[in-house]
Amino acid sequence: MYSKKVIKYFMHPKNVGEIKNPDAKATEGSLACGDMITIYLKIDSKTHVITDIKFKSYGCAANIATTSVMTEMVKGKTIQEAKKLEFKDITKALGGLPPMKIHCSILAIDGLKTAIRNYEERHGLAKPEDLNESILRSRLRKVIDPKVGKDIVTAGIVQNVTIKNGAVRLLLKLPEDHEFRDNILEEIDERIGHIPGVKKLNIEFIKQ
């Protein structure tokens, strides 16, 4: 059911791995299936050209093929050009995907766009949004707890979110011995720690 190109990219994926000290990084999960990818970017600070991109996949064959082809399509492009890439461009480049695998290409695009957004927020390039609880919760819904395959809001890890004068306070139900605690905390910081307007991020834990 896969095209020859999908099989080729799955068997011999390009740009797999991790970049040490990346300029931006993002982990994105698909709520459709629980698969995940992490994208690493190196970006020229003057030209904003993506000089290197790598990925790790915790997903299916189409997840690996679509993310791999996406990395080839955006390497050497500016972040503005890369943001214009759509999932349809990826499926076309791969000679099509079975309908039930279209979301794999959407995941590849989401991972790229989140990594670029993280870069923009860290470098003062992002447009400020009105900071409110619903924006924070929608960002937190993108952080997946791999242990249960659910986002941390749905999984009940986020107990409370408050904002006061730019200081964000999160109350989490996250045991110290949770297998993915460090990854979850790192992801939270990436998702909301650098939103324009967030002056401070305080994370507190419910004692269990």
Least Å from the CB of residue 66 to ligand FES: 8
One residue of 82, 104, 112, 136 binding ligand FES per CB under 6 A: 104
> For residues 22 and 59, which CB has a smaller minimum distance to ligand FES in the complex?
59
Q: Which member of 41, 104, 136, 157 is catalytic?
A: 104
> For residues 71 and 79, which CB has a smaller minimum distance to ligand FES in the complex?
71
Radius of gyration for the chain, computed over Cα atoms and rounded to the nearest angstrom: 18
Sign of the CA dihedral 121, 124, 129, 132?
positive
Active site residue 104: yes
63 binds ligand FES (CB under 6 A): yes
> For residues 2 and 119, which CB has a smaller minimum distance to ligand FES in the complex?
2
Least Å from the CB of residue 74 to ligand FES: 19
Residues in the interface with ligand FES (CB under 6 A) total 12
Q: For residues 181 and 174, what is the distance between their CA atoms, to the nearest angstrom?
A: 7
Both tokens assigned to 167: 């200081």
What is the chain's percent helix, strand, coil content, to nearest 5? 35, 25, 40
Q: How many CB atoms lie within 10 A of CB 147?
A: 12
Burial of residue 138 (number of CB atoms within 10 Å: 0-12, 13-18, 19+): exposed
One residue of 59, 65, 85, 110 binding ligand FES per CB under 6 A: 59
Active site residue 60: no
SS3 32: coil
> For residues 24 and 62, which CB has a smaller minimum distance to ligand FES in the complex?
62
62 binds ligand FES (CB under 6 A): yes
Site string for ligand FES, 20-39 (x = CB under 6 A): ----------x-xx-x----
120 binds ligand FES (CB under 6 A): no
First to last CA, the chain: 48
